[in-house]
Amino acid sequence: MNDATPRGDQAATISRGMVRLMRRVSGRGPERARTTIGRDHVLVMLRETLTEGERNLIAANRRDEVEALRSAYQELLRDEATKLIEETLYRSVIGFMSANHFDPDLAAEVFILEPSEKPPPDVPQEAEHTEG
C-alpha cells in the first residue's frame, strides 16, 4: 500500500492482519475485528477471542491465569502487530497497549502513532473483518 491507498482499505488490512496474528499466536482467531484509525492512534477491537480452554478456566474462577496467558499472547504479537501498523500506515508506532474483558469476550489493542504534521482526516476510518 502507499499514501494513495484509501483509508478504509488500510483499516481492513489491519483488521485482517490482526485476526491472522491472533490465530497464529493463540491457536484461535477472534470472530470479529474492527479497526478505527484516528489522527494519532489505531484501535483494534476484537470479539470472541477466547479458546475453549480459556473459557473453561474463566468458568472455574481462574481469571488470573487467563489474564496472564492473554498478556503473554499480546507480548508475542507486539512486534509483528507494530510492524503491520507501520507498514500499512507508513507511520511509526510509539506505544502499544492491550486490554481484555471476559464477559462479554472482548479485547482491545491500541497503537499510538508518532504525531503527524498532516491534517487529520475529516472522520475516523473504520473497517470490520468477520470470520465466517
Whether residue 98 has pLDDT greater than 70: yes
Whether residue 2 has pLDDT greater than 60: no
pLDDT tens by residue, 49-93: 999 999 999 999 999 999 999 999 999 999 999 999 999 999 999
The mean of the pLDDT values for the chain is: 89
Distance separating alpha carbons of residues 43 and 110, to the nearest angstrom: 5
Distance separating alpha carbons of residues 54 and 69, to the nearest angstrom: 9
Taking CA atoms, 16 is separated from 25, 80, 116, in Å, by 14, 13, 25
Whether residue 102 has pLDDT greater than 90: yes
- The mean pLDDT of 28-32, rounded to a whole number, is 92
Domain residue spans of the chain: 7-116+123-130
37 pLDDT band, cuts 50/70/90, is very high
- The mean pLDDT of 28-45, rounded to a whole number, is 94
pLDDT at 120: 57
Distance separating alpha carbons of residues 70 and 54, to the nearest angstrom: 9
16 burial via Cβ count (<10 Å: 0-12, 13-18, 19+):
middle
Going along 11-92, which residue ranges are E strands?
A: 32-37, 41-47
CATH number of 7-116+123-130: 3.30.980
Global pTM reads 0.85
Chain position carrying cell 497497549 = 97
